[in-house]
Amino acid sequence: MRKLKLQVQMTVDGFIAGPNGEMDWLAFNWDDELKNYVGALTEPVDCIVLGRNLAQGFIPHWSSNPELEGAEKINSTPKVVFTKTLNQSDWDNTELAKGDLINEIAKLKQQDGGDIIAYGGATFVSNLIKHNLIDEYHLFVNPAAIGTGMAILNQLNSKQALTLVKATPFACGIVVLHYEPSRSE
């Protein structure tokens, strides 16, 4: 069965964006070690899942900036956008998922292929977490606190125990926390 990985940038106080979607707190001075970490994380990935809100900026950004590091991988990887409002995709290499989130993710996991990676936005990722659909969490904790904003861990109905696989600090101040769900509880 395919794994669903979450790769998300967040602040030390747990926000993935400011109240209006601000991302000015992100650390962009990534060294080769951090870039290699991301390369290893995404190498087995052959499907990207996104919520509609993020997709509307994410997909056009990467397709119009093919010179950016990582753009080739992102642009060539098939994408599935979860939406209740779009009826067709105007993006290359992208399908729409309009059904129940749990069922749609289950179908993707049952297909042949490599890993699946989720990039967000806040509502979409919150629902993936709430329904315990994530197999690996890769939380890129940036060296910033913003006090308020868009959270992804605030919709839980019950405790979700996680097991720390690895914590990796990088020179730019980002610490990547790799967790997996504790399935025994």
- Please say if the pLDDT value at position 150 is more than 70: yes
Which CATH entry fits the domain spanning 4-173: 3.40.50.720, 3.20.20.100, 3.40.430.10, 3.40.47.10?
A: 3.40.430.10
What tens digit of pLDDT does each residue of 136-149 get?
Answer: 999 999 999 999 99
pTM (2 decimals)? 0.94
Query: What is the per-residue DSSP string for 110-172?
Result: HSSSSEEEEEE-HHHHHHHHHTT--SEEEEEEES---SSSEESSS--SS---EEEEEEEE-TT
Mean pLDDT within 9-19: 96
Sequence spans of domains, the chain: 4-173
Q: Which helix (H) or strand (E) holds 62?
A: helix 52-63
Predicted pLDDT of residue 183: 73
pLDDT band at 32 (very low <50, low <70, confident <90, very high): very high
To the nearest whole number, what is the mean pLDDT of the chain? Answer: 94
- Please say if the pLDDT value at position 39 is more than 90: yes
Q: Which residues contact residue 100 at a Cβ distance below 8 angstroms, ignoring those fewer than 6 apart?
A: none
